[in-house]
Chain A
Amino acid sequence: MAATRKPSEDADDYWGDSSARKGPSRKNIFDDDVSFETAKKILTTSETLDDEEEEEFDLVNWQGDPVVRYNNHKSNAPDLSNLAVPITSHAARTTTLPPSAPSASYGKYEKSSSMTHNRSQSLGGNVGQFGVNKANMSRGVSDPSIEDVVRDTSTPGRKQPTSADLDKLQKEIIFLRKELQIAKRERWKKQPVGDTIRNMVLGQAYTFELYKSKEDKLALLDKAIESHDGNAIIAVILFLKKTIKASLFNLEMMRRPVAINHYLSYLKHHYDYAQMVDFLGMLGRSEEASMFKYKIACQSKDPTIKVATLKTCYRAHFQPEVQLSRQATLLQEQIDLLERQRPVEENDSKAEASGQVQIFRDFPRRASLFGQPVTTTLYYFCLYHYDLGENSLASPQALKARHNISDKQYLHCALGARAKMRRWKDIEALLTSKGWFGGTKLKAVIGFDKVSEILHKTKAPHDVLAKYVALIEDLDQRLNIARKVECPKAVIDALVALKDRAQLEKYTATLRSHEALYAQDVLRSSSIKWK
C-alpha cells in the first residue's frame, strides 16, 4: 500500500513491502495493484469482494491479474476464479472490452499477446500486479497506470487524474460489474475434462481445482494421455499425486504405462533420484533401478568413497537380483580393480613425487591410475611394473589372471609398453614360444602385421621393425606393411622376397644414404633369383 501511494518511495522498500504482503492476507493485495484512484472508486461504489475485483481486471485484459488466482491455488482462500478469463479466445476478449479501453494501444501488441495467451498472462501476473511492467500496462488498462505512480520515481510530481478520467473509470466499473455477474454464475461450474485438456493443449488457462472425485481425476488423466501432449500428462499426474494418497496414486499409475513413463521422466529431470529408484522398484523394473543406482555410484571421484558406494550398490542392488548375475560379476570385478589400483596409485604417486625413482623421471605418469579401464591399467603395469611377480598387486600377470584378459589384449599392451621403454629383448621374449621339438619360434597371436604397426607407432628403430615385418607370411601384405610403417629395409627385404627386381630398382632410386647402399648391395647380390 505504501508503495502505491508514495510514488517517490525507494524501490527497495517497494520490493520489501510487496513481497511481505504476498502472505495470506489476500484482502489487501488487490489494493496494492490497482491504481489508487481506481481502488478508491471500487471500494466506495461496490460491496464486491476482493477476488471479484480481480475478475474485473481480467476483463480489461490487464495482464497481471489472473496470476493472483494462480498463486491462490496454494493459499486456501476460496477465490479461485479461473472461469472468467480462461477459455475466451483472444478475439472474444477484445470485443468484450469496455469502450473506454484503449483498444488502439492494445492492438499494437496484439500479436504478442495472442501468443502468450491468457494463461501466460495469468502467470506473468505478479509483476504486473505490482504495476511494474510498462508494456503490460499499455496493453490493457487505460488510465493513470499504477506503474507510472509506482515506478516513475524520476517524475515525482505527476498530475492528478481529471474528472473525465474518473468518469471513464466509473463507466468501466459498471461494465465490469455486469461481466462479473456472468462470471460469478459460471464460476463453480465444472468444465468437462475434455475441455480442460483441450485448453492445456492450446496453451490456454484452465484449472484442476474443481475435479474432486477420483473418477474425475482419472478421467482427466486418461484424456490427457489420449491427447499425446506430455505437458498435459505430467501436469495431471502431479495434480493426482498431490491430491490422492500414495497407494491409490501408485495403483492408478501402474495401470497406465504412458503415465508411468512421464512420471519417471519427470523424476529423472527433477533429480528426484531416490523417488525414481523406489518407483522403479515398485514397478518391478529392478534392472533399470539398479543401473541407475550404479550410474550414480560411479560418479564419485574420491577413491575411498567410490569403492565404498560401489560396494553398497553391489550388496543392495546387484547381489540379490538373480537376473543381474552377470552385471554383479562385472561390478565385483570393477571393485577388485579399484582396490588394486588404489594402493598402487598411492605408492607410485609418492615415488614419483620423491623424484628418486628413475623410471618415473624418464617416463612421467600422465594421469592417476585410479579409475582407469582394465586395458589402461595393464599397459601401466607393463610400463612401470613389468617384472613384478604374480603375487604382487601391480603385476601384469596377476591382472591378466583376475580379469581374464585375452592373450591378444595382453600382447597389445605389453608390446606397446615395452617398446616405449625400448626393451627390445622383452619384446623378443614376448613373441618367442617353444616349438614342438624343444626349439623356439617367433609367434604372435595378433599377427606380425599388428606387431609391426605397434612397433612403428612407438617409433622402434628400423632394424627391429624390419625383423618383425619379415615374419609376416603373406608376401604382398609384408610389402604393404613395410611401406605403411615406412621402413626402407623392410621394403627392400619384402621386394627381395617377392623377387621383384624392377620394383626394387625403382624403389632404390627414391632412397638415400645407407638404405640406398643396402639396396644396391642387394641388387648386386648374385644369390637372388629375380623374377
Chain B
Amino acid sequence: MDFQIITQVLRDQLGHLLMTVSEQKDLVIDGELTKPFDRFAGISFLKQHGVEKIFKLDPTQKVIHGSERRIYIVRAKMVTMKAIADQINAELNRGDKRLYTIVLVPRRLELCEMILETEGVLGYVTIEELPLDLIPLDTDLMSLELPDFFSSFYIDEDYTWIHTVASSLVNLENFFGIIPDVFCVGKGSKMVYELMESMRGLSGTPHPADIRSQIGQLILVDRNVDYVTPLCTPMTYEALLDERFKIECSIINFGHEVTGKTQDVKQLLTSQDEVYRVIRDRHFSNVFTYLSSQTKELQTGYDKKKDLKTVGDMKSFVSNDLKDLKQQHRTLTYHIGACEAIMKKKKSEDFEEYIKAEHSVLEGIETKENLTYIEDSLCRQVSSLSPLKLLCLLSLTQGGLVSSTYKSMTNQFLQSKGFEHMVDLYQLKRTGLLEEQTTSQTPVKPKSLPGIAKPSQFRTLAKKLNLIPKSPDDINLRSPNDMSYVFSGAYTPLLCKVVEQILERGGLAGMEEIIKLIPGGIIRHDKTRPNGSKSKSDTVLVYFLGGCTFSEIAALRYLVRQFSRKVVIATTAIVTGDSFLKAVLQ
C-alpha cells in the first residue's frame, strides 16, 4: 500500500480548489489545519496556486487587510463560521469589496451553512469542500487529525464525525480495493461500518470485483472499550516524546532545552529518519544505549578523514560522507537532548513513586497505600493531572470507588484544585472514568457510557485476556517478548490484545465470553469468497475511533511482526494521557 497516491490526490484537490479563484488571493487557514497542510502541501505549493498572503484564522481579528479575493480553509464548525461571518460583516461595513470562498474540511455541514445564512453573509460567499480525511503520517500510520471526534461522539453522542470516518474508509477502498473482512469492536465501529456500507452502495463508484484488495482485513475499534490505556504512563520513546513535547502530524518542536539553540527546531519524525525508526518503539530504558553506540560509530565516521590519502578521497568524503555524517550528527544530538529532557522532567515528578502506584493499581494491590499516595499528591497540589489519572485508573479497575472513598477523595480533590472542578467530576462520572459504586438499593443509572464499568468487568477481562502479566519481570524490555513491554510489563493495551486474538484465531471463534465483556461487543462482516481467502492481502488495517496512543501504535507494530503480517494504523487522532483527560473534562 502506497500512501503516495492519497497525498497526490489531496494536493490535486487542493490545487483545483485554489484555482477556482483564478486571481491572486489571500488564504486564511484554520489553526487546526496548518500542520496537516504542511504534510501534503507546503507554502510553495500554495504560492504556485496564486496564494498571495497566508493568515491563520484568528477569531479576535475583526478585519484582515489584503487582496480582493480570499479563501478560507477551515474545519466545518459553527463557531468558526461565526468568526468568519463576523470578519466578512466587519469588512463589508468598512466598504471593502472582496469576494470570499469558504472551503469546509472535510465536508459541508448543514449547521455551518445555517450560520452563514443567519449571519447574512451567504450572499458574498462561495462554499466549497475539501474532503481532507486521512492524512498519511508515515508508511504505516494515518490520522484524521480530528481530536474533536472523541468529545463529540463519546460525550455529546453526536454522530457528525462518524460520517467522516466512514467516508475516509470508502475513499481508501477507492484507492486500494474493497476490504473483504471487517471486524467491529464497540458501538461506534458498528455505526461506521453500516454507514460505510450504505455509502459504498450509493456513491456509484464502480468497484471491479476482480481488483485484488490491498487491505485484507479491517479492524475498527472504539476508544471507549478501553479507557485504561490512555491513562497509563507511556514507556516507549515515541510515546514519551509525544507526552513531553507533543508530536503533531509527526512534527515535533524541540526547544532550547533540547537543541541548545535559541530558536526552536522543527523535526519530522518518520521512519525515514533511520535513527528514529530504530528507537521510536523501544522501551525508554533501551534508547540511550543505542544512541551512545551510534555516537561512537559517528566518531569512527568522522575519523575516516584522517585516513584520506588522495585528493579524490577527500572530495568524495566531503561530498558524500560528510553530509550524511552531519545529518546523523544533528539527529543524534536532538534525540540525546530529548532523552535528557524527558529524564529531567520525570525526575522532578517523583516518577518512580508514581509508576509504583500506577502499577499496583493495575495489579489491584495495595489500595490503601495508593490512596495515601494520591492524597499526598493532592496535599502537595501537584500541578499535573496525574493524581486524577490515578484516581480514574483506580475507579476503572475496581468498577467504581466505594462510596466513602469516593466522597473523601473527591472532597480532597476539590479542596486542592478548587470547587469549580465539580464540573470535572461530573464529566468523569458521565463518561464512567471516575464513579461511585452504586449499592444495590439505588437503581443503576439508566444510561452511562460504557467504559469498563462493573466491579468485576476489568478484572474479568484482564484475567481472560491475560492483560496483566503474572510476573512483570519476565517481560523483556530490551528485546520485547510481549506487547505489555510498552507499559513496562504492567498492562497490555486491551484493544491491541483484541486485535491479537482476532489475528491469532483468524476470526472470532472461541471469543464468545470476551465479546460479552466488551462494551458494544464485536461483530464480523466477512465477505471473503470461500476460495478467495488465500489471495487475501496480509495487510491489516486497524482503525481507532476516538484516538489512540503511541503506546498502542508501538504494541501493534510489535504484534504484527509476530504474525508476519503488515499493519496500517488509522486513527481519528493521536492522544496522550493529558490530551485524553482534557477532552473528557472539556
Q: List A residues at the B interface (Cβ < 8 Å).
A: 11-12, 14-15, 18-19, 22, 63, 71, 89, 109, 111-112, 115-116, 119-120, 123-124, 126-128, 132-136, 138, 198, 201-203, 227-235, 238, 258, 261-262, 264-266, 268-270, 287-288, 291, 294-295, 298, 326-327, 330-331, 333-334, 337, 371-376, 403-406, 408-409, 412, 446, 450
Contact = CB atoms under 8 A, between A and B. Distances in A.
A234 B111 contact: yes
A446 B377 CA distance: 12
Chain B contact residues, majority secondary structure: helix
A331 B419 contact: yes
Contact of B419 (A124, A133, A333): A333
A228 B191 contact: yes
Interface of B: 12-13, 16-17, 19-23, 77-79, 92, 95, 97, 99-101, 107-111, 113-114, 117, 122-131, 152, 156-163, 166, 191-192, 194-195, 198-199, 202-204, 375-376, 378-381, 407, 411-412, 414-420, 422-423, 426
5 contacts: A123-B122, A127-B126, A134-B23, A198-B202, A408-B375
Given A132-B99, A269-B79, 7 more contacts: A120-B127, A133-B99, A138-B22, A261-B157, A269-B78, A298-B420, A409-B378
B117 to A, nearest CB: 8
Contacts of B203: 202
Contact of A406 (B16, B19, B195, B412): B412
Contacts of A235: 110-111
B126 A133 contact: yes
Nearest to B125: A127
Contacts of A14: 97
B288 to A, nearest CB: 23
A409 B379 contact: yes
Nearest to B108: A120
Contacts of B380: 412
Given A112-B128, A126-B124, A135-B21, A330 B414 contact: yes
A187 to B, nearest CB: 23
Contact of B13 (A112, A269, A337): A112
A123 B127 contact: yes
Contacts of A132: 99
Contact of A227 (B195, B420, B423): B195
Nearest to A132: B99
Contacts of A288: 426
B161 A372 contact: no
A134 B22 contact: yes
Contact of A201 (B19, B20, B195, B423): B195
A228 B376 contact: no
Given A229-B163, A450-B376, A120 B198 contact: no
B517 to A, nearest CB: 24
Nearest to B104: A120
A370 B163 CA distance: 46
B199 A202 contact: yes
Contacts of B420: 295, 298, 334
A238 B109 CA distance: 13
A127 B108 contact: no
Contact of B152 (A134, A265, A291, A404): A265
Contacts of A266: 111
Contact of B20 (A19, A109, A403): A109
B113 A229 contact: no
Contacts of A202: 199, 202-203
Contacts of B16: 109, 111-112, 115
A446 B379 contact: yes
A445 to B, nearest CB: 11
A262 B109 CA distance: 14
A136 B126 contact: yes
A138 B127 CA distance: 17
A408 to B, nearest CB: 6
Contacts of A116: 127-129
B199 A201 contact: yes
Contact of B159 (A109, A123, A138, A233): A233
Given A373-B415, A403-B415, A228 B20 contact: no
A115 B131 contact: yes
A111 B113 contact: no
A63 B101 CA distance: 13
A287 B423 CA distance: 11
B160 A375 contact: no
Contacts of A327: 422
Nearest to B112: A231
A111 B10 CA distance: 11
B415 A405 contact: yes
Contacts of A120: 108, 127-129
A232 B198 CA distance: 14
A89 B415 contact: no
A230 B20 contact: no
A374 B415 contact: yes
B522 to A, nearest CB: 18
Nearest to B427: A291
Contacts of B12: 111
Given A405-B415, A412-B379, A112 B17 contact: yes
Contacts of B192: 228
B404 to A, nearest CB: 13
A331 B419 CA distance: 7
Contacts of B376: 408, 446, 450
Nearest to B122: A126
A228 B195 contact: yes
Given A112-B128, A227-B195, A136 B423 contact: no
Given A127-B126, A409-B412, A238 B114 contact: yes
A406 B152 CA distance: 39
A133 B422 CA distance: 52
A230 B191 contact: no
A375 B131 contact: no
A227 B422 contact: no
Contacts of A22: 123
B65 to A, nearest CB: 17
A89 B379 CA distance: 65
Given A112-B16, A133-B21, A230 B129 contact: no
Q: What 6 pairs between A and B have smallest CB-CB spacing?
A: A230-B160, A112-B16, A230-B159, A334-B419, A124-B126, A265-B158
A157 to B, nearest CB: 21
Given A134-B23, A408-B379, A409-B379, A127 B78 contact: no
Contact of A262 (B129, B158, B198, B199): B158
B17 A228 contact: no
